[in-house]
Amino acid sequence: MLAIGTLAKRTGTKVQTIRYYEQIGLMPEPGRTEGGQRRYGNAELDRLAFIRHSRQLGFSLDAIRELLDLSDSPGRSCAEVDAIAQRQLREVEIRIERLETLRTELRRMIAECGSNRVADCRILEVLRDHGQCLTDHVRAER
């Protein structure tokens, strides 16, 4: 049995985050010692590692909850799991596209700046007037 601090170190998760996951039901309420200290086993360690890795891949807490529910029913089709992963991939691709658009606009602004005086700064000028942007990064942001 592991203390919460040990569980946190093994998974790279903050103690406060583990408690939060317990509060919102992603992690089950742990067993406790007679002194009231939380104790975790391998199942909780695996579950927290799953949550942590899913978060690193950008999955929302709701999506993780769905994935955990699905993983608790091993006889079900994995089509729902695939759909959740496909949805996450689409969201990542949209973010990448948005970031590439932003990078293009920022590079252009920097290249056009003469780096002389603030009064003549092209970067500040473009930031004041979106109409001078070449890309519709506002739309891509939504």
pLDDT in tens, 78-126: 999 999 999 999 999 999 999 998 898 888 888 888 777 787 777 888 7
Q: Residue 93 and residue 28: Cα distance in Å, rounded?
A: 33
Does the pLDDT value for residue 139 go beyond 70? no
Using pLDDT thresholds of 50, 70 and 90, give the confidence band for residue 34: confident
**pLDDT recorded at residue 117:** 76
Q: Residue 141 and residue 121: Cα distance in Å, rounded?
A: 25
Using CA atoms, how far residue 79 sits from 50, 75, 83, 86, in Å, is 19, 12, 6, 10
The more confidently predicted of residues 33 and 68 is 68
- 39 beta partners: 31
CA dihedral of residues 113, 117, 119, 122 (deg, nearest 10): 0
**pLDDT recorded at residue 142:** 47
